[in-house]
Amino acid sequence: MTGPAGELKIIAVGDELLEGRTADTNSGRIQRALGGHALRCALIQVVPDDEEAIGAALDRTVPGDLVFMSGGLGSTPDDLTRDVLARWADVPLDQDPGVRAQLEERWRQRGVATSPGIERQCEVPRGLAAVPNPVGSAPGLVGRLSGRMFVLLPGVPPELVGLLPAVIARLEQEGALPAPRATLVRRTAQYPELKLVQRCAAAREAYPRLGWSWWLSDWGVDVRVSAGAGDEGQLEAAGSMLDAEFGRLVYARDGADLPTTVVTLATARGRSLAVAESCTGGLVGGALTGVAGASACFRGGIIAYADQAKRDQLGVPAAVLQADGAVSEASVRAMAAGCRERLGADLAVSVSGISGPGGGSEAKPVGTTWIGLASPSGTFAQCLRFPGDRARNRLLAVAAALDALRRALEDGAADSPWRHGDTWWRS
């Protein structure tokens, strides 16, 4: 792991990362962008805006390393990365006329005067080349110094993300990256990581040379499989084994997240959607409308948090609320049916549960959550029991509601989306 040379090391620079107010998420962005190259990071160092600390971090790299540095590239005196690196590598800082021209053009387009910090932003340690920034002012800087390949990126996440593709293309040109690995992904909703890993065992035994990993998402667990040179042909067969094993658990093979998958399916099939939410309070609608283009299929919904809203806005009978309670099969069926009718949608999903910390009972402990679905074929319902705290139970409920819509859209909504019995949290 920590071999003599040739490792990826990341140095994240910034006081805010060492005061607990901001987590270093840029290192993950760099790792994910390099993931296709099967480059695994050997060390992340998070250091303050301090010359000695940045220098010490550089001392912990060795010739042959690929070193990404994020942060400290702005125009103020506490942006030290360029200066410290130049001193550390014993090279001068040059003014880069190309960077200057680009910055001036950027200011001109925005109709503002050139920033007084422009001199500093045009400085480039000799040996590095500027990579223009498509979304911000600070360029990326790439090149070899002291036997290491360096990549300097701004710390502002959108600017860093915007620069990564161009920077990686530059590293590929320079031969500084291993060949990209072919990969496949299977995204699953609502299924616990440990079980999913177990169910990959046969495929892993059949294809031991492939690289396997499991990533948690807001919606469930992703399986990622990658192949080195010469093994690419095994990926398709391994994917088929996974598809046979997981069946309808897989919601995407193209990297799309669960809300995007639902919106894409509904739009392609010309189905309109609506939501009726109690315990999730609007988060299912919030997730669907996070997808650009959701208006092609999403009509809207009812947030029926109080029982009175369930009666008045969704037509849930008072007798149901009294006899069965708001968290019950009859309640979510009536919520979904009322929502579908009132919003004029083809499919409506409903959620009513006890997220906690209060409200639980022996019969309906915290985590008990009913999901309902109304389609042209009728109404369906399923009880799930989530194991988390309030925030986690609500997130699991959102994923369960979205996955019910996804399954209903995939199979034409003629029958219960839960009829295959492969939903994990069934109570």
Structure tokens at 422: 């492969």
CB of 77 to a second copy, least distance (A): 15
Q: Does 69 bind a second copy (CB under 8 A)?
A: no
Using the contact rule CB under 8 A, the part of the chain among 171-179, 210-218, 263-271, 329-337 near a second copy is: 210-218
Q: Residue count at the site for a second copy (CB under 8 A)?
A: 77
- Residue ranges in 328-347 that form contacts with a second copy under rule CB under 8 A: 342-344
Name which position in 5, 23, 201, 323 contacts a second copy (CB under 8 A): 23
Residue position matching structure tokens 């072919």: 182
48 binds a second copy (CB under 8 A): yes
Q: Which value, in Å, is the radius of gyration of the alpha carbons in the chain?
A: 26
How far is it, in rounded angstroms, from Cα 380 to Cα 245?
26
8 A C-beta contact, residue 304 and residue 351: no
- Under rule CB under 8 A, which residues in 111-140 are in contact with a second copy? none
Q: In the structure encoding, which two tokens stand for residue 128, read together?
A: 């590095």
Q: How far is the CB of 360 from a second copy (least distance, A)?
A: 12
Comparing CB distances to a second copy, the nearer of 54 and 128 is 54
Q: Which is nearer to a second copy, 99 or 351 (CB)?
A: 351
Q: How far is CA 414 from CA 263, 322, 410, in A?
A: 19, 30, 10
Residues 147-176 that bind a second copy (CB under 8 A): 158
- Residues 224-263 within binding reach of a second copy (CB under 8 A): none
Please report whether residue 6 would count as binding a second copy according to CB under 8 A: no
Q: Which of residues 349-388 bind a second copy (CB under 8 A)?
A: 356-358
Please list, in sequence order, all residues whose beta carbon lies within 8 angstroms of the beta carbon of residue 51, skipping any fewer than 6 positions away: 80, 83, 84
CB of 48 to a second copy, least distance (A): 5
User: Judged by CB under 8 A, which stretch of 147-155, 181-189, 304-312, 409-417 contacts a second copy?
Assistant: 304-312
The residue type found at 413 is: A
- CB of 4 closer than 8 Å to CB of 63: no
- Applying CB under 8 A, which of residues 306, 318, 323, 414 lies at the interface with a second copy? 306
Q: Out of 36, 162, 300, 360, point to the residue binding a second copy (CB under 8 A).
A: 300
The candidate with the shortest Cα–Cα distance to 241, out of 213, 274, 188, 203, is 203
102-117 burial, b at 16+ Cβ within 10 Å, e below that, comes to bbeeeeeeeeeeeeee
Structure tokens at 224: 């990622």
